[in-house]
Amino acid sequence: GDSAVTVAVGRIAQEAEKLVEVTREALYVGIRQAVVGNRLTDISHAVQVYVEAAGFSVVTEFVGHG
C-alpha cells in the first residue's frame, strides 16, 4: 500500500493551512465515491469539483508514481 500524511511544522500561512484542509477533505470526498458501480472518473470528478469549489485546482500533468 501507499500512505502519506501532511503535517505543518511551526506557523504556516493561512492559505497553506486551507490547502492542507481541502486536500484532506478531498481524500474523503473521493473515498465516498468509491462504491460499486462508480468508475475512476466518478471519483476523480468528485474530487476535482470539490477542490475547484474551494479555490484550488488539481494537477493534470506529471502525475502518478514511477
How do residues 30-42 score in pLDDT, each as one tens digit?
999 999 999 999 9
pTM score? 0.84
Dihedral pair phi/psi, residue 63, rounded to 5°: -115, 160
Dihedral pair phi/psi, residue 27, rounded to 5°: -60, -45
Domains held by the chain: number: 1
> Per-residue confidence at 2, pLDDT binned at 50, 70, 90?
confident
pLDDT of residue 43: 96
Region of 10 (left: φ > 0; alpha: ψ -120 to 50; beta: rest) is: left
Look up the domain containing 22 and give its range: 1-66
Task: Tell me the percentage of the chain whose pLDDT exceeds 70.
Answer: 95
Evaluate whether 19 touches 10 at the Cβ level (below 8 Å).
Answer: no
